[in-house]
Structure formats: structure tokens, C-alpha cells
Chain A
């Protein structure tokens, strides 16, 4: 299993880092297994909220697209809800 740093999640979504993009593609196809905890999810969402060059509406859109993509990643394990509950506890 590969645990990705927040940088990789953000750059894989919005950056021009081909390694990060490649890793996300692999997780998407289930060729690599990964997990993301709610803390890192929060970090990534905070980063999208601060992304230079995008309007507030576009930042919201990026967050939705990011989360949508995560929910479809075959290689990403654990139920998000349970992670969020632990995050809130």
C-alpha cells in the first residue's frame, strides 16, 4: 500500500507533476492500493481553497471534482464516513 503525501494528491489533481498524476491514475485503476485519512483530506481541501489563479467558485468545483474522483478510485480503501467520524471524535 502507498500512502501519498498531501502534496501528491494536490499536484496529481491540479499540478503538472507527472509522477503524482501517474500515481493517482494507478490508484484510480486499482493497480496501486492507497488510503487517505481525514486529516490529509482536510489539508488537501485547504490547499484547494488557497489555490492561486482560481475563482472561489472554481475552487469549490475543484474540491467537488477531487472528492468525486476519490469516491471512484478503485484502489482507495476504507469507508470515508468512518474516517470522518474518527476525525470528529
Chain B
């Protein structure tokens, strides 16, 4: 049982390494400099030394940021804040009515109409899930 567990862990780890290799080949990277409290940095380095789950500190931070973003994006209060800001920006939008409709017409031509209904259905599910989690 323990061996099976270990093997599946190894498989998951090698799969993860493959994904990371693929990631590093296809994704463009930005260099970001972040100030860390020393204690947190030491704690992180100790974790990486002890587990070896992440190939380096950068991979750990990248994944932590990604997870935090997903978490925040699923927060209904932040969705509301985003909508409010988008509306405030929209009210300041200087485009004329004719320009607005012309641009929508252009974009409409690019849309895959057959798949638009699926996009709405998928949006309904995502929004319902978000609210179900909240309640």
C-alpha cells in the first residue's frame, strides 16, 4: 500500500515536472522583484529543502500567486467591486453612440455565433457556483 502510494506520488511529481518543462518552453516570463520578510523567506527555503516538491523558489511563488488570484476572483465581494469600477469607467467612456454600435458590429462579425449560446450556459454555471459557494 505504501509502495503504491509512493509510486503514484512519483508519477504525479514526474507529471508535474513534465508540465513545468512544457511551461518553461511555451510561456513568456516577466521578471518580478519582491521584498520578502527574512523569516518568511527562511521558512520557504526550509520547506523547499525538506520536501523538494518545487524545483525552485520561483515556481513556488508563481503557483502561490496563481492560486491566490483564483481565490480572489471567486470572491463575490470582489466581483461586485470589479463591476462597480467597470461601470464607473464605462460612464466616463467618451465614445459616441454611433462609434459604439459600429465597433460592436465589427466584433459581432468575429464571434462564433454557434458557440455563443454555450458561452452563456457556461457563464450561468460559473455564476451559480460562485453564489452557491457564498451561501
Give A contacts to B, CB under 8 Å.
6-7, 10-11, 13-16, 38-39, 41-47, 49-54, 58, 61-65, 67-72, 80-81, 84-85, 87-88
**Residue in contact with A45 in the complex, picked from B83, B93, B111, B118, CB distance below 8 Å:** B83
Interface membership of B87, Cβ < 8 A: yes
The segment from B10-18, B55-63, B95-103 that touches chain A is: B95-103
Dominant secondary structure of chain B at its interface with chain A? helix
Q: Mark B4-36, 1 if CB is under 8 A from A, else 0.
A: 000000000000000000000000000000000
**Interface pairs (16), CB distance under 8 Å:** A14-B116, A39-B131, A41-B83, A44-B123, A47-B122, A51-B116, A52-B119, A53-B112, A64-B93, A68-B90, A68-B95, A71-B90, A72-B97, A87-B76, A88-B76, A88-B81
Counting contact residues on chain B (CB < 8 A from A), the size range is: 35 or more
Interface membership of B77, Cβ < 8 A: yes
**Residue in contact with A87 in the complex, picked from B83, B95, B97, B123, CB distance below 8 Å:** B83
Tell me, in angstroms, the Cα distance from A70 to B120 when the chains sit together. 18
